[in-house]
Structure 1
């Protein structure tokens, strides 16, 4: 059966377009073109591919570090899928080596499951003084044990994102990781601007949650943040209005030579789609006034999902909606070398997110028909 959908706005080929009709047959897109005088079966406000989130620590009450298993991954992805995210990189943060290894095996086992786009290993190869909520007991330089995990993942065809402090990594080991096809990201780092640029020259192509877990911008000591903004590297941002002030976020976007190389991440913890508290390294983490904090009140991850981030970035951050959607869809996929999700012939309706006029997630298109 054919169905004609008439979105007020449709994300097509990297732009928001008005006046289109999206025709479906057997649950898949057949065409997307001018609606003209045709009478649609359904009108919606905005139709876009589901978001891709490159930094998902948890969701639905599950922390990946605490449950590095296919079942844990499924629960985390289900929580985010229920909020409009189509694909995720389950993210394992600094922990004992066997936790990283278990997380890698879990992602290999879950690789063919819907919406599992790879793995993000955030730490343990970070700067101790920029570890944030990461456990200092497990921080260590990049080593052969991690290289073995990276090799295992890449041999299994799993896309891998590795966040580390490049100034603390052996350049030869960095080169080996890059040669495996691992996407290297500078984060939780005290790198100077010069050290950051050297890392970009050696194959680091990304920066993790800009401004967070790195030295602040300083007019005589620009550091990693300034080097990242002025580089061609892909740059991630947490769009909750808490981790980065909106003015600083707009400043970074305006200063970039390649503003299209910015993307957003949730940095979500188990409270997203789950209870308002969980345990990390044996310590209670809870939501207070929309902030996810530990007992001392320090930030410990984020309590936001991707489409809420899109809405906040646009409505509170003042960023054009077209840019916000690109930062949640096309940009993160391009940063990881993943093919884009497009509203094009063959696309399943179940991968297309519908947003209402308030930019809230209204549901997946197939469930609204």
Structure 2
């Protein structure tokens, strides 16, 4: 790619708001930031911020990852979420057969090999979960780890990998093995006691999937997985700030309890994002959208139609988080958690030119990946 110069009237670099600079971009990377406002190829009048990074995305654009295990499928998901500022994501596989896990891994490996914009890895949400806290996951597919799963998890062509598991159903030695493979282990869909959860953290689990949801609650005599998540300063938590999955007061409590930088935004998004669809097939059920909430025919919440831009606005409007901090929760913090703080989540010399342009209402007006406009 030839040199590209973009004049930004105001941008957030991941730490500070800066005015009137020109970003020089070459081969998807910001190579300089200067004050020469006379020479540029494009001008962005809105606020430019680091692109949003979503580490839990089940679907979008009418696509459910489980059902569309292809490069085309994950690209359609990314394009749907790019409308709302997402520039990097982990397509997330809901508990399914080992054959589907294999196909999902193949699709992600192919997307990364083909340099599909924004696809940086995969999130296996299950299948090693707790039946008692399965949520919308299918009990029929919940199982112990087998040699077949280890073959998939041992691959080195999948980019960044998150595995969500229930520690009461997984050996501590398995968590150690996953960490040795470079996998980010998150606890979720678990009914574990505090002691068992803490044992998993001590073994190398570093995160908690959609905090509060599908995990044993904090109680006076039993802190549960929620207590473990809030108490361990070295762990990170994904948080769905849509007002349906977690009460806004509970979100604020998490932000108060956790060190700054240890809570990041996720959408847990499903196929309707970026479409006008109001229902979709989900395994042997149907999921319906009503008043912004997705509910399965069997009664439970089934993901969300949240997008990252809305999650950022919700943090500002309902959690009373400073705008700069909400932007970090959508970019800087997930980049740090996934182990990509140098390339992603910031707009500095040497980082990727992945950014979102926002208007005064904090709505997305354009989205760029590697200096190319996708939306």
When structure 1 is superposed on structure 2, of 168-177 and 24-33 the one drifting more is: 24-33
Contact 1:21 1:34 in 2 (8 A): yes
List per-residue Cα deviations over 1:260-310 (Å, max 9, x = no partner).
Answer: 111111100001112222111131112100001112442100111111111
Give the drift of 1:39.
12
When structure 1 is superposed on structure 2, of 359-368 and 335-344 the one drifting more is: 359-368
Partner of 1:221: 222
Give the distance between the partners of 2:40 and 2:93, measured in 1 at CA.
48
Contact 1:234 1:261 in 2 (8 A): yes
When structure 1 is superposed on structure 2, of 269-278 and 121-130 the one drifting more is: 269-278
Give the drift of 1:348.
6.4
Give the distance between the partners of 2:197 and 2:20, measured in 1 at CA.
44
Contact 1:64 1:73 in 2 (8 A): yes
Partner of 1:168: 169
Normalising by structure 2, we get a TM-score of 0.89
Give the drift of 1:28.
7.0
Partner of 1:265: 266
Segments of structure 2 that go 5 or more residues without pairing to the other structure are: none
Contact 1:49 1:352 in 2 (8 A): yes
List per-residue Cα deviations over 1:22-69 (Å, max 9, x = no partner).
Answer: 344679755446799999974634211211110010000000111112
Partner of 1:65: 66
SS at match of 2:67: coil
Give the drift of 1:124.
0.8
Partner of 1:151: 154
SS at match of 2:47: strand
Partner residue of 1:244 out of 246, 250, 261: 246
1:192–1:348 CA distance, 2 compared to 1 (3 A): closer
Contact 1:19 1:35 in 2 (8 A): no
Q: Kindly indicate whether residue 48 of structure 2 is the aligned counterpart of residue 47 of structure 1.
A: yes
When structure 1 is superposed on structure 2, of 293-302 and 258-267 the one drifting more is: 293-302
List per-residue Cα deviations over 1:99-135 (Å, max 9, x = no partner).
Answer: 1111011111111321111000001100000000000
List per-residue Cα deviations over 1:233-283 (Å, max 9, x = no partner).
Answer: 111101111111111111111012x22111111100001112222111131
Segments of structure 1 that go 5 or more residues without pairing to the other structure are: none
Give the distance between the partners of 2:121 and 2:42, measured in 1 at CA.
37
Give the drift of 1:315.
1.2
Give the distance between the partners of 1:123 and 1:63, measured in 2 at CA.
16
What do you get for the CA RMSD once the two structures are aligned?
A: 2.6
1:217–1:3 CA distance, 2 compared to 1 (3 A): closer
Partner of 1:100: 101
Give the drift of 1:345.
3.6
Give the distance between the partners of 2:191 and 2:289, measured in 1 at CA.
28
Normalising by structure 1, we get a TM-score of 0.91
Give the distance between the partners of 1:41 and 1:104, measured in 2 at CA.
38
Give the distance between the partners of 2:151 and 2:42, measured in 1 at CA.
53
Matched residue pairs, number? 362
Q: Kindly indicate whether residue 148 of structure 2 is the aligned counterpart of residue 138 of structure 1.
A: no
Give the distance between the partners of 2:224 and 2:45, measured in 1 at CA.
45
1:16–1:94 CA distance, 2 compared to 1 (3 A): same
Give the distance between the partners of 1:40 and 1:158, measured in 2 at CA.
33
SS at match of 2:315: helix
Contact 1:285 1:292 in 2 (8 A): yes
